[in-house]
Chains A and B, each alone.
Chain A
Amino acid sequence: MKILVPVKRVLDYNVKPRVKSDGTGVDLANVKMSMNPFDEIGVEEAIRLKEKGVATEIVAVSVGPAKAQETLRTALAMGADRAILVQTDDEVEPLALAKIFKAIADAEGPGLVILGKQAIDGDNNQTGQMLAALTGWAQGTFASAVDVEGDHVSVTREVDGGLETVKLKLPAIVTTDLRLNEPRYASLPNIMKAKSKPLDTKSPADYGVDTAPRVKTVKVSEPPVRSAGVKVADVDELVAKLKAMGVHS
């Protein structure tokens, strides 16, 4: 079984995002970019399925600028077999992304597509579910466990009240949650090896997908800032402050 793993290049999660003063977006010039953390978890899960003998080939896909190659090389260094860069300098919305991934799925015939549950920049939490709709496949979102059993996959999902398990017919879509696994670091020899693994470059037009945005960003602004309050000297002072607000047993 082949596994398709979409990976997005995003602002590193340790970097504090800064809104540009002209209100057009977040400043991404000269800041550290990394693979979306949920996508690292997706790559790791695919590799584990390959190590278990369930998967035979892992194809990493990224939609983005030429630099997204670095993100794909990271996926290859972790253990993906080959990569596809769908190169564009435009911001591509989840619906258009899902259409691109659908076209790639049609061409590649994967048994599973493993996406992140959300990208930590756009925070949309949509792409996997949309891809599931377009392919007509079942979806196991926010996964904390994935078990392939014959022609089905059983997915344990993190839901508001706790955990839920669903059984899906393959091929299927999975989106990762944080506790699915702990992604490995690529070793130096694997980073070297990744440089010679195949990486194809395509364009959205190759897949017949129009990426013109449906949603216009009118402006991007700073959230209301919350200012620090006071430090209390001890528990007694805290108790007094809380009681003054009506908070007590």
Chain B
Amino acid sequence: MKTLVWVEHDGSAVKDATLAAVTAASKLGEVHLLVAGSGVDGVAKAAAGIAGVGKVHVADNAAFGHNLPENIAPLVADLMGSHDAFVAPATTTGKNIAPRVAALLDVMQISEILSVEGPKTFTRPIYAGNAIATVESSDAKLVLTVRGTAFEKAASTGGSGAVEAVSAGGDTGISSFVGAEIAKQDRPELTSAKIIVSGGRALGSSEKYQEVIVPLADKLGAALGASRAAVDAGYVPNDYQVGQTGKIVAPEVYFAIGISGAIQHLAGMKDSKTIVAINKDEDAPIFQVADFGLVDDLFSAVPELTAKI
């Protein structure tokens, strides 16, 4: 089987989520990549270096610069003439593009796969991860998105893919990119961090989040996360949200501070290796999944922890 993996990148570097998608695709067969964008020579070179990669299709065109699915999906559908499976990371970009490709191919997509059980059989979470479905496709081609935390990352070096330019596609003219507010962080990315410190509604304000949560994260070199309640209340930006409808994370250590442990939050972090919970309510559901639970007021416990660790 020949797979085509969507390379997610920021214009200069390949994003980590791509590497997990490559691993998933390699379980199905030959791995080809698609790098689409504007001025992506560097990305194409980096992508060709990913271990185990065959061909790297490069579509360099201003119309592909901002991942507009209206322009990208027809390009992918075209390339799928010579591939059997389209595989994208389950990031907001992958989720935006893949179903549009699937419908163009008249294929039913399988979302957020957790494992490859056979050539057309996969597991995937439903009901916020409260159930795992094993599903089998009967379509001639496959369209998959891959949950990044469920697969090892392929090595980003050691490969020698052959780069090939694609001339197909262009601007459909029905959509345009206006602008973005992308938070610049000097911290590890939430989805690939080894340690995450997350704060919940209990913080009460953006100032308190900065004062209590950030110093602990700084000390541990950790990424910052939050519950939906903390995001909705405006303590932190939306891209901090962990959960069913936010980011899915699985770090070595996850600190849940002043977070109750609603199923929608657990859906995003319960595969973390070690979970540490600090909550003043000893019956908070978060303690049911925590490896280390501390029943205490966070406003005194967290500064003390930051000082002593």
Contacts and interface: CB of A to CB of B under 8 A. Distances in A.
Contacts of A239: 305, 308-309
B261 to A, nearest CB: 11
B174 A169 contact: yes
Contacts of B239: 158-162
B238 A123 contact: no
B17 to A, nearest CB: 9
A30 interface: no
B131 A160 contact: no
A249 interface: yes
Given A222-B132, A239-B305, A248-B309, A93 B108 contact: yes
A107 interface: no
A130 B92 contact: no
A167 B291 contact: no
A122 B68 CA distance: 25
Interface residues of B, number: 89
A215 B104 contact: no
A contact residues, range? 35 or more
Contact of A164 (B179, B191, B231): B179
Given A133-B103, A245-B274, A121 B290 contact: no
Interface in A207-246: 213-223, 226, 228-232, 234-236, 238-239, 241-243, 245
A91 to B, nearest CB: 11
Interface string A172-201: 000001110000000000000000000000
B116 interface: no
Given A123-B128, A139-B100, A228-B289, A158 B134 contact: no
Interface stretch (A13-21, A56-64, A72-80, A82-90): A13-21
- Secondary structure call for the B interface: mixed
Interface stretch (B47-55, B203-211, B293-301): B293-301
Nearest to A170: B174
Contact of B92 (A137, A142, A166, A228): A142
B64 interface: no
Given A124-B109, A160-B93, A138 B292 contact: no
A229 B292 contact: yes
A235 B301 contact: yes
Interface in A134-171: 134, 136-139, 141-142, 144, 154, 157-169
Interface of A: 11, 13, 16-17, 19, 25-26, 93-95, 98, 117-118, 120-134, 136-139, 141-142, 144, 154, 157-169, 177-179, 213-223, 226, 228-232, 234-236, 238-239, 241-243, 245, 247-249
9 contacts: A26-B131, A129-B69, A142-B92, A163-B182, A166-B178, A169-B175, A177-B245, A218-B133, A223-B132
Given A138-B175, A214-B107, A239-B305, 18 more contacts: A120-B127, A123-B128, A124-B109, A127-B99, A136-B174, A157-B92, A160-B91, A162-B182, A165-B180, A166-B175, A166-B177, A178-B232, A215-B135, A220-B134, A221-B131, A226-B289, A229-B292, A242-B309
